[in-house]
Amino acid sequence: MAEIIDGKLVSQHIRDEVAEGVERLKRETGVTAGLAAVLVGDDPASEIYVRNKRKACTEVGMYSEELRLPGETTEEELLSLVDKLNGDENIHGILVQLPLPSQISETKILRAVSPLKDVDGFHPYNVGLLVEGKPRFISCTPHGIIKMLDFYKIGIEGKEAVVVGRSNIVGKPVSLLLLHRHATVTICHSRTKPLDEVTRRADILVAAIGRADFITAGMVKEGAVVIDVGINRNKDGKLTGDVDFEGVSKKASYITPVPGGVGPMTIAMLLWNTLESARNFASS
């Protein structure tokens, strides 16, 4: 039976470390790390996520602003707000909550955020630094995955890693992070044939495809480390990941649950990036 990788436990260690860093930065420089979250419209999932981020900022002693805009906000109005936040000395991280209403280009908005305050790690400049292996800000979920592997002392170097999913938010950046740590990396997607033959080679398998219980025990190598990034609802309405946890946990050596696995790490790493940004501004 696999050992559970407890994302709540690891994320609390990260938050404790961030809280110490926030207090030390304030004491030594007078700078309070600040995060601004922009929410356009009233998407229920986004509402919960932003609320959790505000609560997390409070817990670690960060300054936070929550800016809510109506769903009919124009692209120009949102660009103007982002530009204002770019110049705000009290704000070191800017988060524009996705998805945005259809009249607004997500690409244009994300590129308008200053790379120096892009704590989500989505700006092309920061993505380029990650490709070079000299990252400023790393996308929060992929960074959290690496932190979990390190916390549990799971070696990466020399391992064969397979990532199922090629999104810009998870699949591509986590593949780069694993590559930088000297894993041999294969990226799979909907056109990979035959997928199960590729996944069975993995010492470390990351599932980020967005399909409930898609990865079954027959697709997993005995003793593999399985990281489940998916958040789905199955036919019974139950929250589940991309991995058939019951079946795969009997075969893997380590596995992340859903919920309580990768999810808590995302906000923890957002706080981490915001502190790093505040440190950068304080020293410039």
| Residue 185 included in any domain | yes
- Considering the entire predicted model, what is its pTM? 0.95
**97 an active-site residue?**
yes
| Residue 269 included in any domain | no
CATH number at residue 174: 3.40.50.720
- The band of 47, judged by pLDDT with boundaries at 50, 70 and 90, is confident
pLDDT tens for residues 105-126?
A: 999 999 999 999 999 999 999 9
| Residue 2 included in any domain | no
| Residue 274 included in any domain | no
| Residue 99 included in any domain | yes
Query: 153 and 246 share a domain?
Result: yes
pLDDT tens for residues 272-282?
A: 999 999 999 99
| Token code pair at residue 164 | 């199922």
| Residue 87 included in any domain | yes
Confidence at residue 59, expressed as pLDDT on a 0 to 100 scale: 97
Query: 257 and 150 share a domain?
Result: yes
Give the residue numbers spanning the domain of 256: 140-263
Query: 94 and 178 share a domain?
Result: no
Query: 96 and 155 share a domain?
Result: no
Question: Using the 8-state DSSP alphabet, how is residue 101 labeled?
Answer: P
Query: 64 and 169 share a domain?
Result: no
Query: 37 and 99 share a domain?
Result: yes
Tell whether the model's pLDDT for residue 136 goes beyond 90. Answer: yes
Query: 102 and 182 share a domain?
Result: no
Query: 161 and 93 share a domain?
Result: no
In 3D space, the residue among 179, 263, 245 whose CA is nearest the CA of residue 1 turns out to be: 245
Q: How many helices (H) and strands (E) does the chain have?
A: 10, 11
Q: Exposure string (b/e) for 46-74, b if CB count within 10 Å is 16 or more? A: beebbeebbebbeebbbbbbbbebeeebe
Total domain count for the chain? 2
**150 an active-site residue?**
no
Q: Kindly name the residue from 117, 118, 120, 213 that is annotated as catalytic.
A: 120
CATH number at residue 112: 3.40.50.10860
How far is the C-alpha of 34 from the C-alpha of 88, rounded, in Å? Answer: 10
Q: Kindly name the residue from 16, 42, 43, 53 that is annotated as catalytic.
A: 53
Q: Kindly name the residue from 8, 12, 83, 97 that is annotated as catalytic.
A: 97
Angle at 174 between CA 276 and CA 153, to 5 degrees: 80
pLDDT tens for residues 186-243?
A: 999 989 999 999 999 999 999 999 999 999 999 999 999 999 999 998 788 888 999 9
| Residue 49 included in any domain | yes
| Residue 90 included in any domain | yes
Query: 172 and 101 share a domain?
Result: no
pLDDT tens for residues 35-45?
A: 999 999 988 87
Query: 174 and 68 share a domain?
Result: no
Question: Using the 8-state DSSP alphabet, how is residue 188 labeled?
Answer: E
